Amino acid sequence: MPFARISLHRGKSAEYLQALSQGLHDALVESFEVPMADRFQVIHQHEVGELIFDPNYLGGPRSHDFVLIAITAGRPRDIETKQRFYRNLVERLGRAPGIDSEDVMVVITTTAADEWSFGGGRGN
């Protein structure tokens, strides 16, 4: 059950945000072994100066369209699965909403099942 936080600069259209959300979800389903109905995302939009990143660190150049995706996942995935997901994600986001692959950064953190409550005060 991944939970994704998507951070980007403010000013994108609702259609852009929907395409970003959908592209991430489709890549998670297709390449990260996530069920179709398992979708939990928050989009954080930041003013200039509130999303700080190095334009050239281990890649780049990065532009004002930079997107940081922080995924909290329940169980770990193997390296091949993560690499497949990264490639699928940037391909999808390149098509719609048109984000350059160098502008997509992903951080995956895993947690134990007992660190999640899906509602009602129940642990997993």
Active-site residues, by number, are 2
| Omega before 76 within 30 of 0, i.e. cis | no
Q: How far apart are CA 94 and CA 2, in angstroms?
A: 22
If 0-12 CB within 10 Å is exposed, 13-18 middle and 19+ buried, where does residue 2 land? buried
